[in-house]
Structures are given as structure tokens and as C-alpha cells.
Amino acid sequence: MKLLRVIAVLTVVAFFTGCATNSLTGRRQLTLVSETQAISASAQAYSEMMSSFAVDNQLNNDMATVKRVRDITSRLVAQAVQLEPRSADWDWAVQVLDVPDQANAFCMAGGKMAIYTGLIDQLNATDDEIAAVMGHEIAHALLAHSVEKMSMSMVTNLGVQALGTAFEDKPLVLSGTEMAAAVAITLPNSRTAEAEADIVGLEIAARAGYNPSAAITLWQKMNALNGNGPLEFLSTHPAPATRIQGIEANLPTMMPLYQASRGQRLPTWPVN
């Protein structure tokens, strides 16, 4: 019990000394890592990850697929920048990863994105469904959820070190921020963070001219595909049925945004 109190105290101290209020949600978030640090670490981790995929010949070279993904993300990013102007300074980038057996996607702090061919091909994803996925992942970056997860990882490691010290064992060495950034995209978000990303992601997609109701068919397809074996993407997200209920509740607000975007010349944003 004494050891648990040590961890609890560390967590409480970290929360009150390293928190910031998110400008989009008004929620206080743990920020032991600054967004500047998270963006720098993510850029380094992303570069190393993409180099590894390149060595394994897993960077997709199909120009039609790459163009399709970049066209979609450039419209999404343009709306993301309007929603959160600070992201205009990010070096937005997207890669299509040629991994047919993985239905996955992510967006790191600072706008470093990737989508796996398994998600596109196994789901036979429409443009609207790809926009739903990428809008959701972009929302995580806008909402500083990577910063939050990296910070929580630091708290957890501090707790593990406290346990090791109490047992007179060798404390674990904290991972570098680059490792934390890479690990952050594999860790599950809290239910609160997922709900936030769903709402903001729907808004981004709708304003970019993509039908937000496609988020429902996306998760239905995900659920069906998951019946053939656990999906990596679903391992870091709530159950599709739970997600669909939340999406349906927000569609009445999002559909007018989508309708207003139709027939408009929508802006794009450079995405490398």
C-alpha cells in the first residue's frame, strides 16, 4: 500500500504541476512534455520509422493511391488549420505504407501521418471513409493527445522507478522522447480523448466536403473485419458499437456543415 501511495502522490504532483488547458475542448491535460518537444520528437521518430519501412520496401509507390490519400489529407489539413491556427506552422506529411495485413492509420504530434494499405484495401474504403479515419487521427494531433500520452508515459515510468527504488532494485531508465513519441501512437487513448477526436474529426471531415456519416460505415466495416481476428487499429480504440452510437448522436450537428461545403471550392494545404 505504501508503494501505491508513492505512485499516487507522483501522479497527483505531476498533474497539478504539469497541466495545460486545451483551447479547443477546455479540458485540462497533463503536459509534462511540451508540444514543441513532442513535435520535435515525433518528427525524429517518424523519420526513423519511414526509413525502416523504406528499407523493407514498404513505402507505397502506387502513384494513384498516394495521390488519392494526399488529395484527401490536404483538404482535411486545410480545415484543421482553420480550426486550430497554431497547426499552420506544422510540417504536415503523409505516407502510404504498403502493409496489406494491417488496417491502421495514425497522425503524430506536428502532423506526421501514415495510412496502411490494409485499411484501404481490406475495407474497400471510399474517399469519405478514408477522410473519416484521417480526420479522426488529425484531431488527436490537434487536441494534443500525443502530448498527453507521452506525459502519462513519463508519470508511469516515474512510478516504476519509485517501485524499484523502494525494493532497492535497479530503477528502470526513462526512454527518450523519440521513443515516447513512437510508443504514443500504439497506446490506447482515454475514452474522453477518443470522444473528443471523434467529434473534432467529424467536423474536420464535414467542413472538408466529406460525408460524416461515412464514419458509421467505416466502423461497421472495421467491426466485420475484426471478426476475422483482432485488428491493431481497434486495439487502441473503443468498440465499434460504442463509437457508432457517439457518431450518430453528433451527425445532426455535422451534416449541415457537410451540406454547406458541397458545391464550394474548398481550400487545400500542402502535405508532403
Q: Which sequence positions are flagged as catalytic?
A: 137
**Residues 108/42, Cβ–Cβ less than 8 Å:** yes
Each residue of 142-168: pLDDT tens digit? 998 777 777 666 655 544 443 343 334
- Given the C-alpha cell 501512437, which residue does it identify? 185
- d(CA 25, CA 38) in angstroms, rounded, equals 20
Could you tell me if 141 and 181 are in contact, meaning their C-beta atoms sit under 8 angstroms apart? no
pLDDT at 130 over 70: yes
Q: Across all residues in the chain, what is the average pLDDT? A: 79
**pLDDT reported for residue 32:** 67
Closest CA to 76 of 205, 256, 261: 205
Report the pLDDT value the prediction gives residue 121, as an integer from 0 to 100.
97
More confident residue, 141 or 238: 141
Contact call for residues 42 and 181 (beta carbons, < 8 A): yes
Q: Which of 147, 120, 136 lies closest to 194 in space, CA to CA?
A: 136
pLDDT over threshold 60, residue 173: no
- The residues with which 107 forms a beta bridge, in sequence order, are 113
| 42-98 residue pLDDT tens | 899 899 999 999 999 999 999 999 999 999 999 999 999 999 999 999 999 999 999
Q: Mind listing the pLDDT tens digit for each residue in 241-269?
A: 778 899 999 999 999 999 999 989 999 99
Of the chain, the percentage scoring pLDDT greater than 70 comes to 68
**CA distance linking residue 138 with residue 114, whole number of Å:** 11
Length of the chain: 272
Would the pLDDT of 139 be above 80?
yes
Q: In the predicted model, is pLDDT for residue 9 greater than 50?
A: no
Spatial contact of 179 and 45, defined as CB atoms under 8 Å apart = yes
What radius of gyration do the chain's Cα atoms show? 19
* Stated pTM of the model: 0.77
Residue with cell 499516487: 8
The pLDDT score that the predictor gives to residue 195 is 83
pLDDT 10s digits, 27-56: 666 666 778 888 998 899 899 999 999 999
Query: Grid coordinates representing 255?
Result: 451534416
The whole-number pLDDT of residue 64 equals 97
User: What confidence tier does 202 reach under pLDDT thresholds 50, 70, 90?
Assistant: very high
CA-CA-CA-CA torsion sign (126, 128, 131, 136): negative
Which residue from 241, 235, 207 is spatially nearest to 223, judged by alpha carbons?
241
pLDDT attached to residue 268: 97
Q: Do the beta carbons of residue 208 and residue 261 sit within 8 Å? A: yes
